[in-house]
Amino acid sequence: MASSLFLLLLLFPLTTTSTPSHQTLISTPLQDYPTLTPLLEQTLTHTSDPSSLHLPISHHDSLHFTSNLTSSSLLLLRLNRDSSRVSSLHSLLGLPRHSNRSFVSPIVSGLSYGSGEYFTRIGIGTPPTQSLFVLDTGSDVVWVQCAPCRQCYNQTGRIFNPRKSRSYRSVPCTAPLCHRLDLPGCDKRRQKCLYEVSYGDGSVTTGELSTETLTFSGGARIGRVVVGCGHDNEGLFVAAAGLVGLGRGSLSFPSQLAHRYGRQFSYCLVDRTSSGAPPKPSSIVFGSGSVSAGIAFTPMVRNPKLATFYYVQLIGISIGGAPVSGFAESDLRLNRKTGRGGVIVDSGTSVTRLAHGVYVAVRDAFRAGTAGLKRTAGGFSLFDTCYDLSAHSEVKVPTLAMHFAGGAVVALPPENYLIPVDTQGTFCFAFARTDSGVSIIGNIQQQGFRVVFDADRERIGFVPRGC
């Protein structure tokens, strides 16, 4: 323990002079969401850069544009989904319950269970069927619901019919692509490769492995993308037509594009609950256009037991400009022999989870720095530290920064860690603990940053105000 603490002090000095001790939070209560134009009906703008692929992103909540649910109810649903998501990741980890080209796509947000929080619109097939896909850095396979359905969930828009696509091709059982699946199957009568992807929350998709053409905003078309054509899709999926796996495996979308765009992508997630003027749209960029100069990077860490996830080495957290004590750097380090522990950057988890001892130390430091604010008697869902700010239009809160190996420092804006949970002025500290040992940096804490995944150079970067 002593040696671990000594190493932590070497990597993470006791003083952080460049970080102020406090910043101002505008304490606007949670607002009921405005009516939005569904992403499938939006007119998408074209990018003028032919070497970039840009996709819009929306949050799951926007899929409830006709819902009578209150914003607080939607938040509770989101946090319930988050527990399912984290359990799914833990199961995958084997833990207790569990080129010079680029393109850009817009991102949407919405409400569903288990698979992710952010969506983009992609046209699949020829002619293209416009569909919403979950963007998920925690999985590798690209799949879509396909007609005819033996078992399908309700989705937004038409279900893709491969028989009406001129570019659809089944993958034969003997093809090398089939054997890149973790668990390949074969329809011996038709000699077609079968896939199955199971998620830790009990959700599953099964069907034929195929290649298909995808069409993106701006007119970019990519052929022969390996796609699972799911005829039996069960569990907690809702609204989206399928999922785009952004992980590090060989069949993930970035890996499939590597020969053309390199294994680089970045996204920027806009806070769906922010007040005031409409925020800039979220987007995801693939290719060299996703990486710009002046980014502070931290090295990726590879888990030899599971290649999918994007691990980083978080070496410390500061509250109010001072490092949080009470835990060792080893509490956040991946054990390469067992594959346990470590820190994952994940697009599908909402709330950042910290290993139990780390969370308690960070939470207690934050409580000490907010002693002048009125604490509520109880918590809210995952959150155990909440405040009644109904009497304030703004408050001073201690700063919070995450410090990574390689010198990258991510100083969070106050709305990324003290968030409204109802319309009465209750705000909660938006971190939670995990007893599994693996920590996860969630998308609430990533909001407003352009997060750069550069697998070609094995690094991840964070750009503040990058949307």
Phi, psi (degrees; rounded to nearest 5) at 86: -65, -40
List of E strands, 273-326: 282-287, 297-301, 311-312, 314-319, 322-323
DSSP result, 407-421: S-EEEE-GGGTEEE-
- 346 a catalytic residue: yes
Identity of residue 358: V
- 384 a catalytic residue: no
**Catalytic-role residue among 61, 201, 271, 346:** 346
DSSP bridge pairs for 185: 194
Determine the length of the chain: 467
**Catalytic-role residue among 136, 271, 331, 422:** 136
Output b/e per residue, 155-172; b: 16+ Cβ within 10 A: bbbebbebeebebbebbe
Q: What is the DSSP letter of 331?
A: G
Which residues are CB-neighbours of 32 under 8 A, at least 6 positions away?
A: 70, 71, 423
How far, in Å, are 301, 372, 397, 402 from residue 368 at the CA level?
33, 9, 11, 18
**Which value, in Å, is the radius of gyration of the alpha carbons in the chain?**
22
For 464, the token pair is: 């503040």
Are the beta carbons of 445 and 412 closer than 8 angstroms?
yes
What positions carry a catalytic annotation? Answer: 136, 346
